[in-house]
Every structure is written in structure tokens, then in C-alpha cells.
């Protein structure tokens, strides 16, 4: 099986690639399992050395739009595309043209490459919780379901929702098998902060565990919907292997979410690493971040995902402990039992 991952050198792309390679096979949309013979990773940067050392991995570095224009992004025989590459929320608010090129033009271009290639691959599109936005003119319901009308309140959310509709229509026309998946905020992400408005939801855990001060720019009572890296990748893979009968409509599904608050996240950090960690949190509000994050819903009823056997994380403390176990070199503070 030939698989393409855009954003393949990013955090989720790398984790997805490692998961697929370790798995070795994939039962694409309910068909008998096939061996994974080629994994093409597209990104601006090269993937880690362990992936490059695997003979099944082929890396192509550069701008995705340029790769598409040059006909390089989609190798012949591609059966599955995971489209993860995107400019993130804060970047899109700061640079409208960047968001339109990276999130809208690239998605359309990739779908067109699938159409022109004629292979009709499975197309798993990583959309976002940001397609839902609260506003005084159109308040969100108290619980978000798979059929709740998206009302984005950011350029990023708009671009992701347009992407969902493009994928659905290319699926309706038979150019791809459409699988739209709305990701929750992923925490805890290793590595450096990115330009997402939600970046602090990883930074407020990651940096204190490393002994570094971290901003928490929203009030402690701010509710959020989170998913661990493991549960997120599990959802992406399940989107690819679910049969058409299991999957249902071409419209997007919401992945399961753990509902918590910024304050409860800090409390979980304290249980794992004590006051030495929580004392490093800076609770100075950032109005720009508050304005974006406060429009996002926190209570998600992911019925379709539940029907696929996907469940939310059990606790944020467990997520923090998983991060510490998986990234021992990034933890400098002693951990509590």
C-alpha cells in the first residue's frame, strides 16, 4: 500500500508515520489488510532520522503548493492520503494570505491531484474543532454533536470548514473516498511552541516539566476540549480503515474530547510534578488568545466516533504522565508517584 502524509515531518505526522510503520499493514476502508510498502512524507522540513532510515519511507521537502504545481506531491499508485499540513490558527489570524494559501489552496490542489491521478484514493482530511465558534448573534448549543452547524469565528476555522466541504464534494463525485475528521486540541505536544492560539494548552505542561516558566493566557475557569496525541492518531487511522457502512455520511465526524479547564489542567500538572511545576505558570491574560479560545466549544458528543470504537482520554493527569514517560529527556523536575 502506498500512503502519503502531508505535514509528515510535523508532530502528528511523525507520530502517525511511526504508528503505521510499526503496524506494518492497514485494512483500507474495510478491505483485507495490505502491507504498507511506501510512505511518502511531505513537509517543509525533513522527518526524523529514524523515519528516514526505514526503506519504506520517502521524504519530499518543500512548499506543498510548489510540489503540487510541479506534479511531485502524489506518487503514482497512491491509495491513501492523510492531509495534515496546515498553517495554524494564530498564524492565519496574523497573515490572511498565508492561511488562504496553506489551508485552502493547498487542500484544493491536493484534491485536484487526486482527481487528475485517477486512483480515487482514500482522503483523510484533518479538520478542526475551530469550525465551531460561539458568537452573540449565533450562540452555540451547550453540547456539540456531529450535526451541529459549524459557525467559525476565525480565518483558520473558515478555511478548515471550506476544506471539509471540498473533500466531501470530491468524495460525492467519486474522485476520492472522503473522510473528514475534526481534531480536538492536542495536548501535550512535545517540542517547541507553534503559532496556534491553543499552543499554551501544551506549553503550560511541557515547559514547567522542563523547569521553564510558561504562560497560561486565559482564566483558570476557561473550558477546553482536549485529546492526547495517542487518541488523535488512533482517530486518524480509524478514519482510514473504517468500512463505508461503518463510516456513514461524507460530512465530518468529531473525534472524542476530554472536557476540562485550564485550572484543572494546572491541578493535574501539580499532581504529577508538584508546586515546583505549577509555580512556573504565568496566568497573565492575553486578550487576543482569550478572544479566540473563548469562542471554541468544550462539550462534544462524538457519537459517530463512539460508534467506531473511539473513546476520549480518561483523565488529563494520565495524559501528562504519558507525556512524561514518552519524553523523559524533556522532563527536568522530579515526578510525584
The active-site residue out of 82, 125, 132, 156 is: 156
Is a pLDDT exceeding 90 seen at residue 296? no
Residue 222 maps to a domain: no
Read off the pLDDT band of 294 (50, 70, 90): confident
Round to the nearest angstrom and report the end-to-end CA distance of the chain. Answer: 43
pLDDT band at 212 (very low <50, low <70, confident <90, very high): very high
Q: Tell me, yes or no, whether 198 lies in a domain.
A: no
| Average pLDDT for 104-113 | 97
Task: With respect to residue 314, please indicate whether it lies within any of the assigned structural domains.
Answer: no
| Catalytic status, residue 156 | yes
In this predicted structure, what is the pLDDT of residue 34? 96
In a domain, 73, yes or no: yes
Checking if the pLDDT of 204 tops 90, the result is yes
- Structural domain range at position 171: 2-184+228-254
In this predicted structure, the answer to whether residue 192 has a pLDDT above a threshold of 90 is no
What rounded mean pLDDT belongs to the chain?
Answer: 95
CATH number at residue 149: 3.40.50.720
Instruction: Dump pLDDT digits (tens) for 162-181.
Output: 999 999 999 999 999 999 99
Which pLDDT does position 162 carry in this prediction?
97
Band (pLDDT 50/70/90 cuts) for residue 90 is: confident
Residue 292 belongs to some domain of the structure? no
pLDDT cut 90: percent of the chain above it: 92
In a domain, 162, yes or no: yes
Q: What is the band of 88 on the pLDDT scale with cuts at 50, 70, 90?
A: confident
Cα 135–chain centre separation: 24
84 in any annotated domain: yes
- Amino acid 188: pLDDT: 95
pLDDT in tens, 133-157: 998 999 999 999 999 999 999 999 9
Mean pLDDT throughout 167-196? Answer: 93
- Chain segment 42-81, per-residue pLDDT in tens: 999 999 999 999 999 999 999 999 999 999 999 999 999 9
Q: How many domains does the chain fold into? A: 1
> Residue 282: inside a domain, yes or no?
no
Q: What pLDDT is stored for residue 221 in this prediction?
A: 96
Q: Which three cell numbers stand for residue 331?
A: 522532563
Indicate the pLDDT class of residue 195, thresholds 50, 70 and 90. confident
Amino acid at each position: 500500500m502506498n500512503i502519503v502524509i502531508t505535514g509528515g515531518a510535523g508532530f502528528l505526522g511523525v507520530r502517525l508515520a511511526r504508528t503505521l510503520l510499526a503496524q506494518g499493514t492497514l485494512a483500507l476502508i474495510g478491505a483485507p489488510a495490505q502491507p504498507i510498502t511506501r510512505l511518502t512524507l511531505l513537509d517543509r522540513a525533513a522527518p526524523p532520522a529514524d523515519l528516514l532510515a526505514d526503506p519504506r519511507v520517502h521524504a519530499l521537502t518543500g512548499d506543498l503548493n510548489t510540489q503540487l504545481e510541479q506534479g511531485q506531491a502524489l506518487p503514482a499508485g497512491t491509495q491513501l492520503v492523510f492531509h495534515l499540513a496546515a498553517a495554524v490558527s494564530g498564524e492565519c489570524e496574523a497573515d490572511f494570505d498565508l492561511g488562504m494559501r496553506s489551508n485552502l489552496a493547498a487542500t484544493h490542489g491536493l484534491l485536484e491531484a487526486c482527481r487528475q491521478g485517477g486512483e480515487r484514493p482514500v482522503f483523510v482530511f484533518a479538520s478542526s474543532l475551530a469550525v465551531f465558534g460561539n458568537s452573540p448573534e449565533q450562540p452555540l448549543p451547550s453540547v456539540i454533536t456531529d450535526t451541529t452547524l459549524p459557525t467559525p469565528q476565525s480565518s483558520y476555522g473558515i478555511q478548515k470548514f471550506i476544506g471539509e466541504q471540498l473533500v466531501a464534494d470530491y468524495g460525492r463525485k467519486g474522485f476520492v473516498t472522503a473522510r473528514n475528521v475534526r481534531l480536538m486540541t492536542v495536548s501535550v505536544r512535545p517540542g517547541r511552541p507553534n503559532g496556534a492560539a491553543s499552543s499554551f494548552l501544551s506549553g503550560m505542561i511541557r515547559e514547567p516539566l522542563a523547569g521553564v516558566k510558561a504562560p497560561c493566557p486565559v482564566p483558570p475557569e476557561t473550558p477546553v476540549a482536549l485529546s492526547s496525541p495517542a487518541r488523535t492518531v488512533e482517530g486518524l487511522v480509524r478514519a482510514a480503515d473504517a468500512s463505508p457502512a461503518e463510516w456513514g455520511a461524507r460530512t465530518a465526524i468529531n473525534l472524542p474530547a476530554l472536557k476540562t479547564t485550564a485550572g484543572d489542567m494546572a491541578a493535574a500538572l501539580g499532581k504529577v510534578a508538584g508546586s515546583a511545576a505549577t509555580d512556573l505558570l504565568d496566568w497573565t491574560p492575553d486578550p487576543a488568545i482569550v478572544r479566540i479560545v473563548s469562542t471554541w466549544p468544550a462539550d462534544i458528543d462524538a457519537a459517530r466516533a463512539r460508534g467506531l470504537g473511539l473513546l476520549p482520554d480518561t483523565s488529563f493527569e494520565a495524559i501528562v504522565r504519558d507525556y512524561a514517560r514518552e519524553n523523559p529527556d524533556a522532563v527536568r523536575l522530579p515526578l510525584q508517584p
